[in-house]
Amino acid sequence: MSILALSASHHTASLDLLAELTLVPDQRAKVLTELERSAYVDEALVLSTCNRTEIYAAVSRFHGGLEELAGALSLVSGVPLTALQSGCAVSYDERAVQHAFSVASGMDSMVRGEQQILGQVRSALTEGQRAGTVGTSLNSLFQQALRVGKRVQHETAAGAAGRSLVTAAFDQIGDLAGRRTVIIGAGTMSSMAAATAAAAGADLVLVNRTRSKAERLAGTLGAQVRDLSELRSAIADAEVLISCTGGRDLQLGVDDLLGSGLRTVVDLALPADIAPEVAEIPGLRLINLASLAEGGYDAASEDDLADAMQLVADEVADFLAARRAAAVTPTVVALRTMASEILDAELSRLQSRTPELSEAERAEVGKSMRRVVEKLLHQPTVRVRQLSSESDTDYAGALRELFALDPQTVRAVGGGDLGRE
């Protein structure tokens, strides 16, 4: 099996297309259900955030697998295949590993070095595990991706900066001390925004469709709570509005905000919560994903980012080396199994031809023959693992050809394909 990734992100697609491709939990589950029926996809995982929608899969064939991934995403999202062709990037095998590690470490994010993505990757892995679509290949890949992300956070200046879209937006808002700030939503990003605003001394008001969620958050931050139906009165005397719901049923336009006291409006949702035309209201500044993307807000210096990316590159190399070494193991086991079977057959023949030997003598002959076989096989099997970890040369294939190993035996030992497409 090889790893295939189909990715739509701020690097490849417009925000409008990303909004169409943003998948809620039920939609992500439907994608996984569709891929379970695929003849070419053995495992699958879906990652969908405000800046990316990606499908990772373990596939038996590249072209067949890609068609299945694109078809499932198109079917569930309603986005035509033609739009996916122009708005998605495809990574295969080693490049897919590189991409997964870059994403989990925040090196592929709009704000490079941001930490929120690590939790989103962990959630995507958990969803796939619960759906039963994550097996050995994707589990090992993403468990390692999570470890890489943690290393970048704790061992590099880029990760230690702890930036996110929220902090990038707050840098543009300016001083919030004493300013009435209304935050719509009570999810992960809204909670982060609320905590940041409270720490900055804002006069905080939380607005949410489900009041109980907002009340739980407000209780920890000392904020006021309003129902969504009270939004207009909540913003009447507010200076700052921050919205992070990403719900398709919330869309605030010029008429909703005109006449309020708002000076700054921040929209970190995808699909957008606030119409871009709001920026035309005199005296009001709109900060949204588009303006943040244009601003190129990174969490650290170029040198710090280079250090983090080198760590990711080293981890990718180590992961691929370990995978290549592991791939040769079934062939090595099959070779040793064949040698053992030949040895047992020869010992059986020896017993029938030399009835005069005692049991002790036969046992000593057997030990000697096994030591000879072990010494003959030891160096080649150690070297084939070492050489396989260092290059893409198919040493396992060479062993299979040289010793005429039974392909079915190798498959039985490895539980899968002999090699990649």
Domain residue extents for the chain: 2-160, 172-295, 313-414
- Percent of the chain scoring above 70 in pLDDT: 95
Confidence band for 419, pLDDT divided at 50, 70 and 90: very low
> Mean pLDDT across the stretch 34-47?
96
Distance CA 135, CA 48 (A): 20
| Structure confidence at residue 254 (pLDDT) | 93
DSSP-assigned states of every residue in 219-278: HHHT-EEEEGGGHHHHHTT-SEEEE----TT--B-HHHHTTS--SEEEE--SS-SB-GGG
Residue 304 has pLDDT above 50, yes or no: yes
Active-site hit among 18, 50, 205, 266? 50
Query: What angle (nearest 5°) sits at the alpha carbon of residue 276, between those of residues 275 and 282?
Result: 105
| Lowest model confidence (mean pLDDT) among 158-167, 171-180, 278-287 | 158-167
> Mean pLDDT across the stretch 342-358?
88
Residue 138 has pLDDT above 60, yes or no: yes
For 263-276, the pLDDT digits (tens) are 999 999 888 899 99
What Cα–Cα distance (Å) separates residue 153 from each residue in 82, 148, 245, 253?
A: 38, 9, 26, 38
> Thinking of the domain 172-295, which architecture would CATH place it in?
3-Layer(aba) Sandwich (3.40)
Closest listed residue to residue 194, CA positions, set 209, 179, 205:
205
The answer to whether the beta carbons of residues 224 and 235 sit under 8 Å apart is: no
| Structure confidence at residue 56 (pLDDT) | 98
Average pLDDT, the chain: 88
Residue stretches of the annotated binding site for NADP(+): 185-190
Domains 2-160 and 172-295 share a fold: no
For 65-76, the pLDDT digits (tens) are 999 999 999 999
Domain 2-160 in CATH 3.30.460.30? The answer is yes
Residue 282 has pLDDT above 70, yes or no: yes
- Identify the H or E element spanning 285: strand 285-288
| Structure confidence at residue 163 (pLDDT) | 67
Residue 90 has pLDDT above 80, yes or no: yes
Known active-site residue 50: yes
Cis geometry, peptide bond prior to residue 271 (ω within 30 degrees of 0): yes
